[in-house]
Structure 1
Amino acid sequence: MARHSVIEDTPPPGVLIVGAGFIADHHGAALRATPRARLAGIVDVDAGRASAAATAAGGVAWSTDLGEALARPDVDAVIVCTPNMTHEPIALQVAAAGKHLLMEKPLTITVPSARAVVEAFDAAGTVVMAAHTHRFYDYGRAVDDAIAGGAIGRPVFARLAMLGGWIWPDWRAWVLDPAKSGGHALHNGVHLLDLVSWWLRDEPVSVYARGRKRTAEELRIHDYLEMHVEYAGGASAVCEMSRGHRPSTIDRRDVLVAGTDGVLQLPAEGWGSPLVTESGASLLPPQAANGFAVQLDAWLDAIADPAAERAMTPADAVRAVALGVATELSIERAEPVTLDEVMGGVLA
């Protein structure tokens, strides 16, 4: 995605970050590194945390009152990095204020609330995008570029595994409460579900999933997920997501996409991706970029030209929520769940 220079007479949009956790640090770093936007301030319910983050960012404005911050004339857009259960009310407040929004995934934790958010931004005439950052990481773009270029023909199967260790500070973390996070499928599983659907270029129709509590039976979420997705055009995908592997420092990612004309495989380590076709084997060139910076550019592109094709559409964000919800329901019922059921009969 091309970067665009800032017209000298037009000040770059001011972006407010809501939530001062570790993900906000990544978004803030991307903002400070681009001339296309500026960090206008930080909002957090904890005054000490908001103040400390604002000081670390160079002394920008901070507040504990989102309404007050949204009313400032120098705030044009918002990046939200708060717990999942807060996403809908914050998004609706941002839409009502007429600001653009980049929402950390998932967009919300239910399909009706995701739709309500999209409708609110449609009515306001402003841009909403879910921050599914893996679409903008090197490996995500390298695989998609190869598929788009016809390297493996029509993709018919994908396998994606992300195996990691425990990352949460303690048992009180909001992520471990499914009422707050939506469950592990909505918090972390959506990374994989969104990616394979993007790569396969097909509409998901059902999910059959299994969850395990690898760390301890006392967990209220499944920290290990197996998700099998079937698609309208006949493709399928198998996703494996874990935050319960040992040692806790493990960080393994495996990618395989099979098509009618070849197989693309990304090794667990390194960026040289093997591509195997009837013509032989070759390597995809590595790509090096900051995923948060690339994602920020895509959002700013959408703000600059709302009519242009988007790298992550509102429909994509709603579909990701639906896939996460279907996964959680499938685990609960021990049977496949259709997207038609969780989407209420509307798949687009």
Structure 2
Amino acid sequence: MESLSATVRVLVVGTGFIAAQHAAAIHAEPRLELAGVVDVDAGRAAAASRANGGVPWYTDLGAALAETGADGCVVCTPNDTHAGIAERVAAAGAHLLIEKPLATDVAGARRAVEAFARAGRVLMPAHSHRHYDYALTVRDVIRSGELGDVDLVRLSILGGWIWPDWRGWMLDPSRSGGHALHNGVHLLDLVTWWTGDVPETVYARGRRQTAAELDIYDYLEMTVRFAGGAVAVCEMSRGHRPASYARRDVLVTGTGGLLSLPWDAESGTVTDESGTALLPPGGTDGFATQMAAWADAVTGAPAAVSGADGLLAVGMGVAAERSIATGLPVRVDDVVKEAA
């Protein structure tokens, strides 16, 4: 690991929508320094450089790592590139914070985990929802024992269309892995982290809410059964209307009580001529908290999200997609073991 007094120099790889939030989090973290940006599109890379004070920009990751001597990478590229890039970063001896999912299949996720184990570097999948106040609150209440033994978790995250247009790579299941891996994996990871239990099966259904022409299901309902007997129902949508009105609800029931955490517990609503929308919620910036946690891990602390966590989340996402295709529950262990 790095010296506690060292500044960790970081490359941002991929300069799309989410990269700006990661770059802002790097700038806000005193232990990190943005060493450069990388994108296969020279125009995008140059624009990201200008937006970040003129840092060096590259179209080749190998050249960027060699020329900057970066200690770590934050990867924000399309999902189907994740496993290959992770292996290249590990081979270069750098640490990695990588956007979810870790890969689009279990074999790729396992290769990434094994590469970082061999290199002795930090691999942290960016399951950003774990770092927001609502998720930490639910985790803390469950682990306090106040609710007794958890019977049921219901998590809904509903919103409208956020993708750029019909050409967006996330709408191509061969690139994104499908909606269960691209967005649904947030919920699958959270309910597993909250319960601290082993997911046994995933039973899912999907709907093309926005249009029949979609190649993915933009509405998902995924039911997870855990080894300890708890059940989690996860509802994820990018097809709700009005698009300006997002909603998130959490309900946890146990033998000793009930926790309800509606979205309006942390944010107000505003209604005007354009419709109803949520005011920006208060609380912690999850991307900044996540970046600080990665800096902690790079400088010696345990990773807040491990490679094994990322691998399991990929297995659950793949199980959800298979369940939609077959109409049957899918055993998570069977999926995860396929590539072992």
Do they fold alike, i.e. is TM over 0.5? yes
Aligned residue number for residue 98 of structure 1: 93
Contact persistence 1:105–1:131 (CA under 8 A): yes
Partners of 1:77 and 1:173 lie apart in 2 by 28
Would you say 1:242 and 2:219 are equivalent positions? no
Contact persistence 1:207–1:327 (CA under 8 A): yes
Would you say 1:330 and 2:330 are equivalent positions? no
1:304 counterpart (299, 307, 312): 299
1:219 counterpart (193, 211, 214): 214
Contact persistence 1:157–1:200 (CA under 8 A): no
Aligned residue number for residue 271 of structure 2: none
Q: Secondary structure at the match of 1:92?
A: helix
Contact persistence 1:206–1:339 (CA under 8 A): yes
2:132 counterpart (122, 131, 137): 137
Contact persistence 1:46–1:64 (CA under 8 A): yes
Letter of the structure 1 residue corresponding to residue 32 of structure 2: A
What's the CA shift for 1:11?
3.6
Describe how 1:103-182 pairs up with structure 2 within 5 A: 103-182=98-177
Partners of 1:8 and 1:163 lie apart in 2 by 42
Moved over 4 A (4+): none
Would you say 1:343 and 2:324 are equivalent positions? no
Would you say 1:317 and 2:317 are equivalent positions? no
1:271 counterpart (259, 262, 266): 266
What's the CA shift for 1:248?
1.5
Specify which structure has the bigger relative contact order, considering alpha-carbon pairs within 8 angstroms and separated by 6 or more residues. Answer: 2
Partners of 1:124 and 1:270 lie apart in 2 by 44
Aligned residue number for residue 35 of structure 2: 40
Aligned residue number for residue 3 of structure 1: none
What's the CA shift for 1:346?
9.0
Using structure 2 for the length normalisation, give the TM-score. 0.92
Partners of 1:138 and 1:9 lie apart in 2 by 27
What's the CA shift for 1:67?
0.4
Contact persistence 1:158–1:237 (CA under 8 A): yes
The CA deviation string for residues 60-107 of structure 1, in whole angstroms up to 9 with x for no partner, is 111111100111354000000000001011111101100000000000
Contact persistence 1:177–1:183 (CA under 8 A): yes
Partners of 2:339 and 2:208 lie apart in 1 by 33
The CA deviation string for residues 106-165 of structure 1, in whole angstroms up to 9 with x for no partner, is 000100110010000000110101000000011111111222222212322100001100
Contact persistence 2:107–2:339 (CA under 8 A): no
Partners of 2:310 and 2:185 lie apart in 1 by 10
What's the CA shift for 1:267?
1.2
Letter of the structure 2 residue corresponding to residue 316 of structure 1: D
1:69 counterpart (44, 54, 64): 64
> Any stretches of 5+ residues in structure 2 without a counterpart?
268-280
Partners of 1:160 and 1:8 lie apart in 2 by 40
Letter of the structure 1 residue corresponding to residue 127 of structure 2: H
Letter of the structure 2 residue corresponding to residue 294 of structure 1: T
Letter of the structure 2 residue corresponding to residue 213 of structure 1: R
**Same amino acid, percent of matched pairs:** 58
Q: Secondary structure at the match of 2:152?
A: strand
Partners of 2:144 and 2:92 lie apart in 1 by 41
Contact persistence 1:158–1:255 (CA under 8 A): yes
Partners of 1:38 and 1:260 lie apart in 2 by 48
The CA deviation string for residues 18-65 of structure 1, in whole angstroms up to 9 with x for no partner, is 001111100100111121111110000111111111111111111111
Contact persistence 2:124–2:303 (CA under 8 A): no
What's the CA shift for 1:168?
1.0
The CA deviation string for residues 176-225 of structure 1, in whole angstroms up to 9 with x for no partner, is 11000000000000000000111111000000100000111111000000
> Any stretches of 5+ residues in structure 1 without a counterpart?
1-6, 273-285
Cα distance change of structure 1 residues 62 and 249 upon mapping to structure 2, 3 Å threshold:
same
Letter of the structure 1 residue corresponding to residue 322 of structure 2: L
What's the CA shift for 1:310?
3.0
Partners of 1:317 and 1:329 lie apart in 2 by 18
What's the CA shift for 1:345?
6.7
Aligned residue number for residue 272 of structure 2: none
Contact persistence 1:340–1:346 (CA under 8 A): no
Using structure 1 for the length normalisation, give the TM-score. 0.90
Cα distance change of structure 1 residues 309 and 150 upon mapping to structure 2, 3 Å threshold:
farther
Letter of the structure 2 residue corresponding to residue 125 of structure 1: G
What's the CA shift for 1:10?
3.8
RMSD, matched Cα: 1.9
Letter of the structure 2 residue corresponding to residue 149 of structure 1: S
Letter of the structure 1 residue corresponding to residue 203 of structure 2: Y
Letter of the structure 2 residue corresponding to residue 185 of structure 1: A
